[in-house]
Structure 1
């Protein structure tokens, strides 16, 4: 339990922020409607860069250069499909990579979202889209 009123739990995640042609790389899992930031939950004992590199390799088939992993921002948003009051705290990182991102495993589709893609994005992804648009790093529409 956290001490915040109304919060019943916090899920910790890491995500890769990859901007290309004015859009934010996002993924959609099989059987889901919304796009989310590529990444996932760290396993016990994993550092954020280790978890990020593992998740991105599993989801997108690319290798992150761990020496270039840099924190960008941390966002909190309601957890989709979880009990009310559950939050997702996502630590977002940038990193160089080798390979071309492609859907792997649980991923059905990739997209480059702009600020106008809010309706297609998870709550966490919408928050990141807002941040990137406000800083001028993302196309607004």
Structure 2
């Protein structure tokens, strides 16, 4: 089985979570991405969020949320995504950049619009009272 290792940012404001949709994709994903060789989780998070949304993660505010696994959306059967998620404060205004076509603040009612691993995360955040 192939595992895709990703780092993701969980940002919840007013009961909604920040999500992104890449060009050519039909579902939303939490912002973040794959680690470069030798890169730490923090370095990956900071780099990916700057590349995708043009905001600066505040490193001292980064806190782990959890690691989640599910079938990788848009990949061959037997491919799993392992997403290690972090919450963090940021500086700036989220703006689409690079491969990102759209950003959206989604609530639990939008669960059907996100990838399988994000659906698991939505469930956990909703059960915890964080996602409305």
Partner of 2:27: 34
CA distance in 2, matches of 1:76, 1:87: 7
CA distance in 1, matches of 2:110, 2:31: 16
Alpha-carbon deviations, 1:51-70, whole Å to 9, x = none? 00000000000000112211
CA distance in 1, matches of 2:61, 2:129: 22
1:55 to 25, 48, 55: 48
1:93 to 65, 86, 94: 86
5+ residue gaps, structure 2: none
Partner of 1:73: 66
Match runs of 1:1-141 below 5 Å: 8-139=1-132
Tell me which structure has the larger Cα radius of gyration: 1
CA distance in 2, matches of 1:113, 1:77: 20
RMSD: 0.7
5+ residue gaps, structure 1: 1-7
CA positional deviation for 1:120: 0.9
CA positional deviation for 1:94: 0.7
Give the alignment's TM-score, normalised by structure 2: 0.97
What secondary structure, in the 3-state scheme, does the structure 2 residue paired with 1:25 have?
A: strand
Structure 1 stretches (4+) deviating beyond 3 angstroms? none
For these two proteins, the number of residue pairs brought into alignment is 132
CA distance in 1, matches of 2:12, 2:23: 23
Alpha-carbon deviations, 1:113-135, whole Å to 9, x = none? 11111221111111111000000
